């Protein structure tokens, strides 16, 4: 059905459609019957897909990446769509409008998007008010945090610490986002010494909050796909040495190699979707070979099908996330992927999804 209406939807501006979708999901968010209907249509429960990491149970390994529910408004409704977990944000200490519009561009011929949103969100405090009942969600809720655009990198640690102060009581896990290409100089925080200082400060803040009685939460780092091999090696080892709980690979790319002739290829921003499929899988495999035995990896980038997700799992991802794939495939994408994963596990003789993690990386 979604494929039938997608042509109509794609005639409208991407952000306009997104806002209408969020509005529709808000109608379901606080409606028990509404969520029950979505669950009946979209959810699949199968013990072979249940994944346990960091003491958290994920009913299946297919999550929704940050960027869709930026302000933590509809995470219950999204969980009802069959996702195994939902990540909200990116959230910054102060609300900010993001970059000027238009800032999202479809490249249908490539099943891709370019976005330069710029961490538009209403701020961490308002999100915290909406996250008070996160524990009642059917699936784990992640919180992705970043710095405000006007905060210089020398003061970035303060922004991430402020986010932790306001949000640490909520959510099942946290993500440090320093890999978006749409906030000026943000990726400079991936330089080894900057990265070490940032992770150390975030973990110290977490320890302080845990000392006040808050539950300990895993803290993950989201990395970019545009690093050189040597930088990737330095980044992931520094992150693990500083006590990071997991790695999310990867964010969007600034490369246009795969879409070079497209009329919108010259638009600034991060490219996501099908052109990132193989690139992100290669990074997952490389990261797994470096530190896969020490921390779990969440794979993201160009996942449209069960085969795409399975390739990332076999490369070393314990969990995967979709976003652009949902724009092109529709709200049933998690169900579709999970059904295919079950078939692929049976084909390869695996009794559980965890048995497939990293088999192509050894």
Q: Is 98 helix (H, G, I), strand (E, B) or coil?
A: coil
Beta strands in 188-325 (DSSP E): 219-223, 246-249, 270-273, 297-300, 319-322
Q: Which amino acids are annotated catalytic?
A: 180
pLDDT at position 1 is 73
- List the beta strands (DSSP E) in the chain: 51-53, 56-58, 62-64, 85-91, 104-107, 112-115, 141-145, 173-177, 219-223, 246-249, 270-273, 297-300, 319-322
The string of pLDDT tens digits covering residues 68-117 is 999 999 999 999 999 999 999 999 999 999 999 999 999 999 999 999 99
**Alpha-carbon span 268 to 265, nearest angstrom:** 8
Identify the bridge partners of residue 221 per DSSP, sorted by sequence position: 176, 247
Residues of the chain scoring pLDDT < 70 = none
The closest alpha carbon to 99, from 201, 196, 186, 192, belongs to 186
Per-residue model confidence (pLDDT) at position 255 = 94
Cβ atoms of residues 146 and 186 within 8 Å: yes
Structure confidence at residue 300 (pLDDT): 98
pLDDT of 182: 84
Residues 49 and 59 sit within 8 Å (Cβ to Cβ): yes
Q: So what's the pLDDT on residue 166? A: 98
């Amino acid at each position: 059905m979604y494929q039938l209406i997608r042509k109509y939807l794609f005639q409208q501006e991407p952000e306009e459609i997104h806002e209408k979708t969020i509005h529709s999901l808000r109608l379901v968010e606080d409606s028990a019957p509404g969520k029950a209907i979505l669950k009946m249509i979209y959810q699949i429960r199968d013990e072979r897909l249940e994944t346990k990491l960091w003491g958290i149970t994920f009913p299946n390994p297919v999550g929704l990446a940050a960027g869709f529910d930026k302000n933590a408004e509809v995470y219950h409704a999204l969980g009802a769509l069959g996702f195994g977990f939902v990540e909200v944000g990116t959230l910054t200490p102060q609300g900010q409008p993001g970059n000027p519009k238009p800032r999202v561009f479809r490249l249908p011929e490539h099943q891709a998007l370019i976005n330069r949103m710029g961490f538009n969100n209403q701020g961490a405090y308002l999100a915290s008010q909406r996250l008070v009942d996160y524990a009642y969600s059917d699936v784990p809720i992640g919180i992705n945090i970043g710095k405000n655009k006007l905060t210089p990198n020398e003061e970035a640690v303060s922004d991430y610490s402020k986010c932790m102060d306001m949000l640490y009581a909520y959510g099942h896990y946290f993500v440090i986002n320093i890999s978006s290409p749409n906030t000026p100089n943000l990726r400079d925080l991936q330089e080894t010494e900057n990265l070490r200082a940032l992770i150390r400060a975030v973990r110290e803040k977490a320890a302080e909050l845990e000392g006040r009685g808050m539950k300990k939460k895993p803290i993950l780092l989201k990395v970019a796909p545009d690093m050189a091999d040597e930088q990737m090696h330095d980044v992931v080892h520094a992150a693990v040495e500083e006590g990071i709980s997991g790695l999310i690979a990867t964010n969007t790319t600034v490369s246009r190699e795969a879409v070079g002739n497209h009329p919108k290829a010259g638009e600034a921003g991060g490219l996501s979707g099908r052109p990132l499929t193989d690139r992100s899988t290669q990074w997952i495999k490389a990261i797994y070979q470096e530190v896969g035995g020490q921390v779990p990896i969440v794979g993201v980038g160009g996942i449209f099908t069960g085969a795409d997700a399975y390739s990332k799992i076999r490369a070393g991802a314990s969990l995967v996330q979709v976003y652009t794939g949902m724009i092109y495939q529709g709200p049933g994408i998690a169900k579709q992927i999970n059904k295919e994963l079950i078939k692929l596990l049976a084909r390869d003789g695996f009794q559980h999804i965890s048995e497939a993690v990293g088999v192509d990386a050894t």
